Structure formats: C-alpha cells, structure tokens
Structure 1
Amino acid sequence: MVTLPRSARLAAWGTAWLRNEASLDDVVDRVRADDEPHDAVDVPGAATATGLSEALLALREAGATAFLVALPAPGDPSGLGGPADLNGYAVDAGEAVIADGAPYALVPDVRTFGPPGDQGHMVTWMVRPASPAPAAPSLADTDKELTTALLAAGSILTDLDVASWRPEVEALLSDIRTNRQSDPLPRAFPPQAQAVAARAARLLAVVRFALGDDGGAVTTSEATSRRAALTPLERASRSALAAACNALATR
C-alpha cells in the first residue's frame, strides 16, 4: 500500500476540500490515519491549541485557497519560500504544508510512543508565518527527472538486499517493477498525478530504507557507491511526489 507523508496527504486532501471535492472530515481522517487525533498550535485567532479541522477552517478564513506540500531536506529547502525560522522547522521535519493565499504554513511535530512493534504517534501541527511558495517544476518535468534518475541508478536499486530490511520493502520493489497502479490522491486529481504520486512515494520509501541501512553493501566503497547512486533518486522522488500532490492546486 502506498503511504504518503502526512504533509502530502494534508496538502492534497486539504486542497480538494477547498475546491469542494472532499469534506473536512475526509481531510482529517486521511491525514490522521492510525495516529492519535491531531492537534494544532498557534492557529490564527485561537488562544489555545485546537484540532486540525479548526486549524484548517481558520486558514481558509485567513484567505487560503489551496495547500502546497514541501518536502525539503538538509541542503535542499525546495518548496519553501521562508522565512528562515520556517525553513529550519520544515527541514528538520522533512515536510511542511504552505497555505496558498494566506501567509502561513503548517509543520508537523511527531512524537512516537509505545514499545517497538506496538508504537503510536502523537502529531501536533505548528502554524508558522510563511512567505509564498516559490515556483516549482511542472509535474511533467519532475516525472521525466524521476525516470532519468531511476535509469541512472541502474542495477543498484534492483540488487538491494531487501531481506535485511522490513518485509514491506520487498513488496514496494515488486510494485515498482510491475508498475502496479494505485490512486493515493483524491479523485479530483488527474490520472498522471495519481500515477506519479504512487511511483514516487514507493521509490522514496525504498531509497530511504537503502540510504539508512547499507544492507548488502559489504565494503565501504560499495556503500559509498550505493549512496552516490541513490541520493539523486531520493531527491527526484521528493520533487515528483510534491509536484503530484500539488497538481490540483496548480491547475
């Protein structure tokens, strides 16, 4: 099953809600998934913490007409327009949602609790002042870049030692190799966005497992070569996933 980052789900479903293509309950349910109920802090007009639905209503009232996901990484603040404070929070989290039409962004603070194998997550969305998101590459361009990066990675991805990782990695690789279809975004999104989101999310998950675990790379040289080959694919996957989840907002 394709699982999108929380901010990607919030941007996609939140924009569908603003376009009357989804209900507010749909947004909250899709974003929360198996987490504990999400909270939000520093919401415009609210003196205390609120629920996610109240935060979204407040941002709509503040002028938000769409939501855009940013999936930055250290040294790559793509999708962020500042200020520096927001960029720092977003890079640390690896994700953020920029409100288009309102000077705010949401960044998730995720706390894990419970023993291994039975863990849960408590999520608080921090509302922060934000500048407009910068212009981003088109969905078509990021899809081409993802294909190029995947070809450049060559046999590195095919030869990953998935047995040393969690079992779902092998299923993700199988889905990628067979180009299995899925629709991880709201129905209002165009078919190309659905396909790109599914492929990019799967590749991003696999590559992050690979970059975090040397797996079958038995020498330092092999591990370094693997990282050099997969880092551009990780970056291209983030870019393509963001473009797909933002496709409804940029149409």
Structure 2
Amino acid sequence: MVTLPRSARLAAWSAAWLRGDASIDDVVDRVHGDDEPHDAVDIPGTTGAVGLSEALRALRDAGARSLRVALPAPGDPTGLGGPADFNGYAIDAGEAVIADGAPYALVPDVRAFGPPGDQGHFVTWMCRPAEPPPAGPPLAEADRELTSALLAAGSTLTDLDVPSWRPEVEALLGDVRANRESEPLPRGFPAQAQAVAARSVRLLAVVRFALDDDGGAVTAVDAASRRSALTPLERTSRAALAAACNALA
C-alpha cells in the first residue's frame, strides 16, 4: 500500500489530536508505522532526546494549536516561511511539520538500517525555529489544479508506455481511475480531503517512478519529454497532498 509521508501523517493525526478527535497513542502509532520508535531533539522545555508523544505535548504547551505539513523540493519551497536554515533542512528532507501558534517546526532525519529488501528505519524529529508559512491554496482549488495537471500529463504517460515497464505504475494508475481509498486521514477530515489525499499520494508515487527511471524511454528526447510533462504533475500532487492533510489546520 502506498503510504503518506511521515510528516503528512504527523500533521494530520496531530491536528486531529489537538482537536480532540484522536488520542496521542493514535498519533504515535500512525506516525511510527513500521519504523523503530521515533524520538525528537531540541524540543522546547525538554532536555535531550524525547519520545514523540512527549515532544507533541511540549509543542502544545509552547502554544501549538495545530500542525501543518510542508512538502517542498529543490527550487520549490512551497509551504515554508523561513528562516533560511530551516528551509534548507526541510528542502533536503522533502518534508516538514510546522506548528501553528508556536515558532517551531519538526524535520525528520531518517536513517535506514538492514539489508536491501528488509530495511528498517530510525527516525529523529529535529525541532527548528520556524516562521509562519504563507497560506496554501484552499482544498477545492488544489483539487481542481490536480485534476488539470493529471489531464495534461495523461497522454505523456500513455504515449511513453510507462505502465508496460513498471507494473507498479499500472496498478497505481488503476487505483487513481477507480477512486480507490488509500491510507485514511483521521476522523473529522472532510470527504474531499480523504479523496484528494488518496489520489495525490498515488500520483506522487507514479511520477517518482517515472522520473527516477528512464528505462521505459526509447530515446533521450522521450526522457526529456516525460520529465517536462510530469514535473508539473509532481509539484501539483505535492501541493494537493499538503492541502488535504492541512484541511483541519
């Protein structure tokens, strides 16, 4: 199953917890997934490394009313408000969680261990000073933009025959066309947020398969054409996923 990025899970489930729609144990279980237990460092009011539940309670005590996910990329700092040091950490990680009501953010440091095919992950959330991010697009607007980007990129996926050389892509595209549910957001999120999260996280996986592997492109021109067509879909999918997971913030 395609899963949400760790920061998306942390933002969505923490937002539900802060609203009283989930327990702190629900948050920790959802965020950990198959990882080793997460810890956090540099959390205000704590010393040394602490568990994720203690970190979230400390951020709440520091004034956090909700948490927002940002899914930036090099050249696209969408969802980040600064300062520059924090932006750099978040862009390198490709994800971050920013507190509303407190000047802090969390960035995951993920370390894999074990042999290929049987790897686990140690995750440490680094707390960094952060400024409020600019407002993102409303969920309905992000949904419309995602639909438009998918229509624009659809012919490229078909013409370059991506599904034939990556069976995972064919399965994911089938899920998108059938509007199948994915890993759910917490109770309390609107139905549109649930649907947009499911669609955008699958499209992100499709695009990243295609952009990371040019094996299905017959020529360099084909590879460049694919990248040109799919990069906007990747960017729009990240924005839509963030909008869905921030729907309660």
Q: Deviations over 1:44-64 (max 9, x none)?
A: 111210011110000000000
2-structure distance, mates of 1:110, 1:32: 12
Distance, in Å, in 2 between the alignment partners of 1:173 and 1:164 is 14
Equivalent-residue separation in structure 1 for 2:183 and 2:95 (angstroms): 21
State the match for 1:235 in structure 2: 235
14 and 224 in structure 1: CA distance in 2 versus 1, 3 angstrom threshold: same
Indicate the SS of the match to 2:143.
helix
TM-score computed with the length of structure 1 as normaliser: 0.95
Aligned partners of 1:160 and 1:210 also within 8 Å: no
Deviation readout 1:197-250 (Å, 9 max, x if unpaired): 00000001110111101131010000000000000000000000000000011x
The question of whether the paired residues in 1 share the 8 Å contact of 2:3 and 2:183 is answered with no
Stretches of structure 2 that go unaligned for 5 or more consecutive residues are none
Match of 1:100 in 2: 100
User: Counterpart of 1:113?
Assistant: 113
Alignment partner, residue 161 of structure 1: 162
- Contact 2:45/2:58 (8 A) holds in 1: yes
Q: Percent identity?
A: 77
The answer (yes or no) to whether the contact 2:179–2:195 under 8 Å persists in 1 is no
Cα distance, 1:163–1:121 mapped onto 2, change above 3 Å: farther
> Partners of 1:3 and 1:102 in 2: how far apart?
28
- CA distance in 2 between counterparts of 1:163 and 1:25 reads 42
Q: Where do 1:93-242 residues align within 5 Å?
A: 93-158=93-158, 159-162=160-163, 164-165=165-166, 168-182=168-182, 184-242=184-242
In 1, are the aligned partners of 2:4 and 2:183 still within 8 Å (CA)?
Answer: no
C-alpha distance in 1, partners of 2:180/2:87? 35
> Greater shift after overlay, 51-60 or 154-163?
154-163
Q: Is the 8 A contact 2:39 2:49 kept in 1?
A: yes
- CA contact 1:82–1:131 (8 Å) conserved in 2: yes
SS in 1 for 2:9: helix
The 8 Å contact of residues 10 and 97 in structure 1, kept in 2 or not, is answered as: yes
Q: Which moved more, 1:94-103 or 1:180-189?
A: 180-189
Q: For 1:36-51, what aligned pairs fall within 5 Å after superposition?
A: 36-51=36-51
- Per the TM alignment, residue 163 of structure 1 is displaced from its structure 2 partner at its CA by 5.0
Report the AA paired with residue 48 of structure 1.
G
Cα deviation for residue 157 of structure 1 reads: 2.3
Show the 5 A alignment for 1:51-70.
Answer: 51-70=51-70
Q: Report how far residue 156 of structure 1 moved.
A: 1.8
Deviation at 1:180, TM superposition (A): 1.7
CA distance in 2, matches of 1:240, 1:204: 10
Deviates more, 1:11-20 or 1:212-221: 212-221
Give the letter aligned to residue 192 of structure 1. Q
Moved more, 154-163 or 31-40: 154-163
Deviation at 1:184, TM superposition (A): 1.8
In 2, Cα distance between equivalents of 1:138 and 1:230: 23
Question: Would the aligned equivalents of 1:18 and 1:65 in 2 still touch at CA under 8 Å?
Answer: yes
TM-score under structure 2 normalisation?
0.96
For the residues of structure 2 that align with 1:36 and 1:209, how far apart are their CA atoms?
26
Kindly tell me the number of residue pairs found equivalent between the two proteins: 248
SS at match of 2:132: coil
